[in-house]
Structure 1
Amino acid sequence: MKVSYTAVCVVLVVLLLSEAQLSVSVTCNFSQLSPCSNALVNNSPPSKLCCDKLREQRPCFCQYLRDPSLGQYVNSPNAKKVVSSCGVSIPNC
């Protein structure tokens, strides 16, 4: 049985894309940002863990912004400073 090079490439691309889709999915959980609490409250530099969590939870920022009980925290000046320090941006939702 002869398999074409193109068919093998197509299968590999499909597998890689499906794997990428799986790794992009994130569970939105605001409590995952608790490592940032010290930076937010004490106006101190964010930890590496805080920055990692911000990057991980970035796809959830719009959901957090729309939540009346969370939006005030995400939109606060200190939160914007911490997010900026980590090189993460708050999207326009």
Structure 2
Amino acid sequence: MKKVSGSSLWMVVAVAALMLLTEVRLSNAVTCNPVQLSSCLPAISSSTAPSSTCCSKLREQKPCLCGYLKNPNLKQYVNSPGARKVANACGVPLPNC
């Protein structure tokens, strides 16, 4: 399994901060904010199981996943093997956008 380097994690945080500046509100009142998925980083970058907080946030952000996958700054993280593992463990299928 490929480990995520410290610089990659900082890149995720930087991109997430950028996304905070451009929050998108969906009609079902979900605020798309990739920073809310930061609780999933430990599980994405290692072989640990995702926390209940991670899974809860991932379910909340499910309507936003297509937007994250279409964002060139976020796609590589959302579409990574670690992120797929976490989504699968949380029972949240990644959408086909």
Band of TM-score, shorter chain: 0.7 to 0.9
Task: List gaps (5 residues or longer) in structure 1.
Answer: 1-21
User: Which residue, out of 10, 18, 31, partners 2:35?
Assistant: 31
Q: Return the structure number with greater strand share.
A: 2
Deviating runs (4+, > 2 A) in structure 1?
A: none
Structure 2 length-normalised TM? 0.70
2:55 partner amino acid = C
Q: How many aligned positions are there?
A: 71
Counterpart in 1 of 2:73? 69
What CA RMSD, in Å, does the superposition of the two structures yield over aligned residues? 1.1
Structure 1 length-normalised TM? 0.73
Q: Return the structure number with greater helix share.
A: 1
Identical-pair percentage: 56
Query: Bigger radius of gyration, 1 or 2?
Result: 1
1:70 deviates by: 0.2
1:31 partner amino acid = V
Task: List gaps (5 residues or longer) in structure 2.
Answer: 1-26
